[in-house]
Structure 1
Amino acid sequence: MIVSHRHKLIFIKTLKSAGTSIELALSHHCGPADIVTPIYPLVPEHEPRNWRGWFAPWREVRSKNDLQKNVSELMRRNRLYNHIPARFARARLPRHVWRDYLKVCVERNPWDKTLSHYHMFKNASWHRHYDPDLTLDRYLQNGILCHNAPFYCDTQGQLLVDRVLRYDRLDEELADLFQTLGLPFDGLPHAKGDLRKDRTSYKEVFTPGQADQIGRAFRKEIDLHGWEF
């Protein structure tokens, strides 16, 4: 996550959507007072800052799990962090910052995103779900899918961000965003791109049954953004 007071921008980081590369690109334009959260695995040129702090743990509590989560993060002073959902970031930032800053995230076609997520589980030895023998069927059966809507929507499914950039035309949309911010855009740095060595399109990988299963699992995101297989 990035909160740039200099450019009045809040970047909410979603999963499997070039988030680390975007963070690296944005962090180069952040000032000493801006918030840059740590990323994992560590990237040498990334310099986290100003993300620790105290916050009111009762804000944005919708369940017992929310309260336990907030108290645990409060004890570690993890006020903001890498993949913090927008609703918790809103509760932990000053109200005028959330109200006045441009809030942005990225979303990706769920079939393409699912295939990328599967490759991360299969190839990323640092990941807690790493399994080099993982098959697509077993991945889909385990139910640990890459849902991003909880990062940028509230518990009722309403958007909490101002702009959702599309991953399938990311260069164009980032160029427009950087122009809006008055920043130069020379493309994204390379980060984590080596996890998916097989670049076969998801349309050629998933069976009809697998494609239908993913479509059902991501129905809310598909309806929200109009994705198609």
Structure 2
Amino acid sequence: MISHKHKTVFVHIPKVAGQSVEQMYLADLGLNWSERAVLLLRPKLNTEKGPERLAHLTAAQYTQFGYLSQDNFQNYFKWALVRDPYQRALSCYHFLGYARVLSFENFVQNVLPEKIKQQHFFFLPQYDYLHDNQGQLLVDYVGHLERLDQELVYPKEKTGIQGISMPHANKAAGSWKRVVRIWGEQPSLIKYFALGHDRKSRKEVLTPRAKAGLNQLYAKDFEAFGYTQQE
């Protein structure tokens, strides 16, 4: 998200309250969600580079793909929110519909590795969103979702947001339409088909085997952002 009025770049990592942050800035501009393209919150055009939804550009891609000049990138306040890697993976699992047809263990073992290898924007490590290829942090501030109220104070002050609370958005569970898309993209997953996992608690599906897989896949996230790996 780029707001030239606020002189800020918000790097929206999927399933880390990004849409709520974006709505906060839209509200400050007197705009509604249908007018969000002004903040570069729109689908990518065929002639453009980046993820299919430009809201999910990595920090490096804003200048790499020409969405912001290097001077503005240096001068604007750049920030992001991060989240416990276990909880983020669980949120992706439910939001995209995988919980309807796969166990979480199968999601971790048979979906995430391939998606990360493909650099799919929804599953990229949070570290990769905020660092360049040399490991340099490209944003000025990283807040943690678990301490959201207190960690929003600084970016709101820096960007001139006053008197606007952040709404809660984008919590819907994965629809069957998304499930159909899963089978279309990865027909080999049919052998792991199993119903009912969407009714299990997060604690119940976060098994030691699932944790071990996430510890490996998102090792940089745990280390860089101060989250503790579990066994």
Tell me what 1:137 maps to. 105
Q: Say whether the 8 Å CA contact 2:105–2:205 is kept in structure 1.
A: no
Find out whether 1:112 has 2:87 as its counterpart.
Answer: yes
Tell me what 2:192 maps to. none
The AA in structure 1 aligned to 2:37 is P
Distance, in Å, in 2 between the alignment partners of 1:108 and 1:213 is 17
Residues 20-65 of structure 1 show CA distances to partners (whole Å, capped at 9, x for unaligned) of 1111111222489xxxxxxxxxx8544312749xxxxxxxxxxxxx
Pairing of 1:114-129 with structure 2 (within 5 A):
114-122=89-97
Moved more, 183-192 or 81-90: 183-192
Match of 1:189 among 157, 167, 177: 167
Q: 1:85: Cα distance to partner?
A: 1.4
Moved more, 159-168 or 132-141: 132-141
Tell me what 1:38 maps to. none
Residues 93-133 of structure 1 show CA distances to partners (whole Å, capped at 9, x for unaligned) of 122201111100111110111111111122xxxxxxx6731
Normalising by structure 2, what TM-score?
0.71
Residues 164-203 of structure 1 show CA distances to partners (whole Å, capped at 9, x for unaligned) of 111111122113321232322543223111328879454x
Match of 1:76 among 18, 25, 47: 47
Q: Which runs of 5+ in 2 are unaligned?
A: 117-122, 175-197
Residues 113-155 of structure 1 show CA distances to partners (whole Å, capped at 9, x for unaligned) of 1111111122xxxxxxx67312112211222363222221111
Tell me what 1:36 maps to. none
Match of 2:37 among 35, 45, 48: 48
Aligned residues: 190
Distance, in Å, in 1 between the alignment partners of 2:30 and 2:132 is 29
Residues 48-98 of structure 1 show CA distances to partners (whole Å, capped at 9, x for unaligned) of 12749xxxxxxxxxxxxxxxxxxxx78524689221111110232122201
The AA in structure 1 aligned to 2:135 is G
Secondary structure, aligned partner of 1:105 = strand
Tell me what 1:28 maps to. 27
Q: Say whether the 8 Å CA contact 2:104–2:205 is kept in structure 1.
A: no
Secondary structure, aligned partner of 1:221 = helix
Q: Say whether the 8 Å CA contact 1:175–1:185 is kept in structure 2.
A: no
Q: Say whether the 8 Å CA contact 2:24–2:164 is kept in structure 1.
A: no
Higher RCO, 1 vs 2 (CA within 8 Å, ≥6 residues apart): 2
Distance, in Å, in 2 between the alignment partners of 1:158 and 1:90 is 15
Q: Which runs of 5+ in 1 are unaligned?
A: 33-42, 53-72, 123-129
More helix by share: 2
Normalising by structure 1, what TM-score?
0.71
The AA in structure 1 aligned to 2:71 is H
Check 1:78–1:140 CA distance in 2 against 1; reply closer, same or farther (3 A cut). Answer: closer
